[in-house]
Structure 1
Amino acid sequence: MKKSILSLAAAALLAGCSLAPVYQQPAAPVAASWPAGDAYKPAPAAAEPRKVADIAWRDYFADERLRQVIALALANNRDLRVSALNIEKARAQYGIEQAALLPKVSATVSQNATRTPGTMRPDGEPAVSRQYSGGLGVAAYELDFFGKLRSLSEAGLQQYLGTEEARRAQQISLVAEVANAYLTLIADQQRLGLAASTLKSQQISFELSKRRFAAGATSGLDMYESQSSVEAARNDMAVYTAQVALDQNALTLLVGGAVPAALLPSGQFDAVSRLAAIPAELPSAVLQQRPDVLEAERTLRAANANIGAARAAFFPSISLTASAGSASSSLSGLFKGGSSTWSFLPQLNLPIFDGGVNRANLNIAKTERDIAVARYEKAIQSAFREVADALAQRGTLDERLASQQALAEASAKSFAIHEARYQKGAESYLNALVSQRALYSAQQGLISARLSQASNAVTLYKVLGGGWQPDA
């Protein structure tokens, strides 16, 4: 142990570097490519593949209203504002660490007045003596032979850069949250519209069943079954009316203020769901460019630098205190010829016995580095899982949407037939009611499928690290 530390010290003195170990990026603990299988439908290759991080969010989202809402959120969201302030705090902290590399020079002007009582003087008269001094001084400036201060400065730099990555990661999340909240509001607007049209249709059928019951053409069962469908539609109207209001409140919170009415969606997916294509065949190595993964790596680099500071504590430290100036018994004589003064106080601190504190601090630094490695690897694994999940969804959404569309069309035809037979008196309202409920369920499922497809595109953009550029 002593030989290795002495070797490191000699290298530091000769090369002028710190005692921190050479940083090596850990190997990514994930496969080089994404999972394959029935759920992962291969996407067509892009003509000019590029990283998703290169696609600005303004280019990815086609709807101008949504782009304006996202811009409002980036300007006003309080969580993002806190992240920006954390960057300022980390920048100031790094400035403190970096300042330790330079001597602190201060200028002082002082007066020392002393009164001597007459009982202590030969002439029995009290006297006041004064001494004036002024000059420049350097206090306890440590010569960084073993890189302790450079290591601490490097750790501060990495922590500062880590806060910048954290803000970028939060910006990606905010863009995705706003887009998904916007899409959810559209879906609930469509569900509300569907409930309203269903209620209108059921009210017409209910009025018909009441007239038939009054005329004695049908039993009361048809009338009550028709009434039950009306009340169910009324209930859904109330539910989705409240849900649309809740969606707008959620969007307001994300934006950080009221969203202008002109920017709210009009209940259509078409414009909003036109998104830029995600490049195909991207390697899993792109995850190492995700801001949250880069943040974990910055933390690892800081922990690596702290090992250098802990190692340097085993070696002597030299600090210098010096001053130069002028001293005089009168203020008018200050800075005149012959009044110059100076002092020089070098101090060598040689650790001999500390009860194992330095060794324990070094072990702590190494353990923190190992913890940072594990967290970095976990960040990559979590990112890989998020992308794999999004790809699995994307590979099956087209089939799901197509089947749901076909189901809704078939249910509509079935309901039309049963409705026509009921109005002609060929069958009871029960068959038409069952068919209508199946149609309603299929139409609800179709809205959910369209929402899932649009949300998946937003999620895939987010988990691949898109939309964080400062000029985006």
Structure 2
Amino acid sequence: MILASLHEGWHGTWSYHAILALLILLQLGGCSLAPVYENPHFKVPQTLGGANLTVDTRSDTTNVALSLEEQRFLGDFSPRFDLVPLVTQALVHNPDFRITVLQVQQARAYYQIEHSRQLPTLSANAQGVRQSYSAVDMQERYGQKLATVGIGINDFELDFFGRMASLSIAAQQRYLATRYGQQAARGALIAELLRAYTLERATFQAQAYYSAIMEDCAALMAFASSQHGVGLISDDELSRQRRQADQAQVRAMQAISDHDAARRALQLIAGFEAPIGYGTLEELQPSDHNDWGLRDLESTVLLQRPDVQQAEAELRARNADIGAARAAFFPTIRLSTSFGGASDSLQGLFESASRTWTFMPQLTMPIFDFGRNRANLDVAYLRKQAGIADYEKAIESAFREVADAIGVRPSLQQQDQREQTNLGRERLRIERMDKRVALGLQDRTALLVERISVEQMELEYLQARQALLLNRIALFRAFYGVHLSHAS
């Protein structure tokens, strides 16, 4: 109808119907189905020096519920303080983990697309054709007015050589690979969060120790100044004491900066709304009975790790790609068919005499493609070889992570025990000195010097404890997703 209207208005004034049709086409051409763009909402403090957010926004934590194994580890790692809300908030907030979740959903959609191609698509179509000419002879020979409507299958490929099946298998394996990748990312995120939490708590405690050292050095400096005023110590001794006090003050200021940096690192992982700021390293448990017997486990248990299974799934997908590349050398058979009606008027479309049926098989055989199919097959083989190397690399990396974490653990445990024992003795000695000073039996300056020494030992024990806790977290990361028969 549009073509006829345009043709009638070609030699004269455009008709009302032609103008209306043109306006409708222009209007349809300007439509867009894209959603309205909105800037994403981000959650950071209002100022660069801000800390936690002041608003209370509750995130949906339905899809990030912790497993029993994760809850058990968090309970063993921090028996006094519940770390589940912190970990849950990190899984909700962390952009990297959200990307892995979206990648799984994308891979699932791609797999659905490839799988649906193995099944025929039923579609309906309607068409109207009106063609007229000014010349009478041309109008009699070529003029036509026809309306058709039908339902059928269009361009369905018969998968005689398994190309579509191979593509579907490859998409399925890549979907499984993304799921394993999401699980591996989840374990890495939890481990990184616990590591950041441990460092934040360690720097917070170190800040208190450095502040105590600074105060004791300031007290010694005051004693030194009074002694220098009456000529009991020299200028050099006073300068040495002032230098120690200045260094202690600088270290205390640096400890504040270190804690602020550790706190920001934790908030970057868990979000600025995450509940942080509780617990000490002494209240965390660096070991439990699950650590026993790890050296005697067979190395094949590492095949259960999500990153290793991800590499294996990707290798299976690349193996299926070879099947699809091989099938490209064989003929492609496509089928199109439809059933409907055809008439020169809309009223007669559904009469029995206007029924139509079409059947159009098509066979395509590659003859000369200038080596394209051969190159695609070579690429598929090379990608599989690279997948084998990636799979071997994942296993070797997993073995090294576990071996390193297990190998260094005995020395860290021994160092932690020795530092704790020595620190306990020194604390008792300081208590006895403090009592003697209170009774006037000992000089206070000697007590301050010894207190500074013990506070240095507190920092050394804090570092030993931190190293042992980080090793515990590394073991959790190394065995994440691995079922240990002796684990409770």
How far does residue 301 in structure 1 lie from its aligned partner after superposition?
Answer: 0.4
Distance 1:273 1:388 in 2: 18
- For 1:404, the equivalent position in structure 2 comes to 419
Distance 1:69 1:158 in 2: 33
- Contact 1:391–1:460, Cα closer than 8 Å, also in 2: yes
- Contact 2:304–2:481, Cα closer than 8 Å, also in 1: no
Distance 1:416 1:341 in 2: 104
- For 1:455, the equivalent position in structure 2 comes to 470
Q: 1:285 aligns with which of 289, 300, 320?
A: 300
- Contact 1:57–1:466, Cα closer than 8 Å, also in 2: no
- Contact 2:196–2:262, Cα closer than 8 Å, also in 1: yes
Distance 2:230 2:247 in 1: 26
- For 1:29, the equivalent position in structure 2 comes to none
- Kindly report which structure 2 residues correspond to 1:143-292, keeping only aligned pairs within 5 A, or say none: 143-260=158-275, 263-271=276-284, 273=286, 277-278=290-291, 280=293, 281-292=296-307
Note closer, same or farther for the CA distance 1:242–1:274 as it changes in structure 2 (3 Å cut). same
Distance 2:442 2:112 in 1: 86
Note closer, same or farther for the CA distance 1:276–1:249 as it changes in structure 2 (3 Å cut). farther
The reply on whether 1:60 has 2:60 as its aligned counterpart is: no
Note closer, same or farther for the CA distance 1:360–1:128 as it changes in structure 2 (3 Å cut). closer
Distance 2:322 2:239 in 1: 79
CA deviation vs aligned residue, 1:277-335 (integer Å, no higher than 9, x gap): 34523321121111111110111000010111111122222111112211011110001
CA deviation vs aligned residue, 1:332-374 (integer Å, no higher than 9, x gap): 0001011111111111223334333322222221111111011
How far does residue 108 in structure 1 lie from its aligned partner after superposition?
Answer: 0.7
How far does residue 169 in structure 1 lie from its aligned partner after superposition?
Answer: 0.7
RCO higher in structure (CA 8 A, sep ≥6): 1
Note closer, same or farther for the CA distance 1:425–1:278 as it changes in structure 2 (3 Å cut). closer
- For 1:133, the equivalent position in structure 2 comes to 148
Distance 1:236 1:457 in 2: 29
- Aligned partner of 2:111: which letter? Y
How far does residue 96 in structure 1 lie from its aligned partner after superposition?
Answer: 1.3
Aligned-residue CA RMSD (Å): 3.3
CA deviation vs aligned residue, 1:50-82 (integer Å, no higher than 9, x gap): xxx986221111234422111110111111111
Distance 1:392 1:271 in 2: 22
- Contact 2:306–2:481, Cα closer than 8 Å, also in 1: no
- For 1:32, the equivalent position in structure 2 comes to none
How far does residue 386 in structure 1 lie from its aligned partner after superposition?
Answer: 0.5
How far does residue 435 in structure 1 lie from its aligned partner after superposition?
Answer: 6.7
How far does residue 196 in structure 1 lie from its aligned partner after superposition?
Answer: 1.4
Which piece of structure 1 moves more, 280-289 or 436-445?
436-445
Distance 1:144 1:128 in 2: 41
The reply on whether 1:88 has 2:105 as its aligned counterpart is: yes
Q: 1:142 aligns with which of 137, 145, 157?
A: 157
- For 1:388, the equivalent position in structure 2 comes to 403
The reply on whether 1:107 has 2:124 as its aligned counterpart is: yes
Q: Percent identity?
A: 32
Q: 2:381 aligns with which of 366, 390, 402?
A: 366
Q: 2:88 aligns with which of 48, 51, 71?
A: 71
- Aligned partner of 2:162: which letter? G
Distance 1:340 1:466 in 2: 62
- For 2:7, the equivalent position in structure 1 comes to none
- Contact 1:324–1:342, Cα closer than 8 Å, also in 2: yes
- TM-score under structure 2 normalisation? 0.76
How far does residue 457 in structure 1 lie from its aligned partner after superposition?
Answer: 0.7
Unaligned runs of 5+ in 1: 1-52
- Contact 1:61–1:272, Cα closer than 8 Å, also in 2: no
How far does residue 274 in structure 1 lie from its aligned partner after superposition?
Answer: 6.9
How far does residue 230 in structure 1 lie from its aligned partner after superposition?
Answer: 1.9
- Aligned partner of 1:166: which letter? G
Distance 2:277 2:190 in 1: 16
- Aligned partner of 1:167: which letter? Q
Distance 1:442 1:176 in 2: 28
- Kindly report which structure 2 residues correspond to 1:416-435, keeping only aligned pairs within 5 A, or say none: none
How far does residue 439 in structure 1 lie from its aligned partner after superposition?
Answer: 4.4
Distance 1:417 1:222 in 2: 28
Distance 1:121 1:463 in 2: 81
CA deviation vs aligned residue, 1:16-50 (integer Å, no higher than 9, x gap): xxxxxxxxxxxxxxxxxxxxxxxxxxxxxxxxxxx
Which piece of structure 1 moves more, 311-320 or 243-252?
311-320
Note closer, same or farther for the CA distance 1:318–1:67 as it changes in structure 2 (3 Å cut). same
Q: 1:341 aligns with which of 350, 356, 359?
A: 356
Distance 2:139 2:267 in 1: 86
- For 1:303, the equivalent position in structure 2 comes to 318
Which piece of structure 1 moves more, 412-421 or 250-259?
412-421
How far does residue 218 in structure 1 lie from its aligned partner after superposition?
Answer: 2.7
Distance 1:55 1:259 in 2: 22
Distance 2:89 2:288 in 1: 20
- Aligned partner of 1:178: which letter? L
Unaligned runs of 5+ in 2: 1-65, 484-488
Note closer, same or farther for the CA distance 1:285–1:279 as it changes in structure 2 (3 Å cut). farther
- Aligned partner of 1:94: which letter? Y
- TM-score under structure 1 normalisation? 0.78
- Contact 1:411–1:438, Cα closer than 8 Å, also in 2: no
Match of 1:164, SS state, is helix
Distance 2:441 2:233 in 1: 9
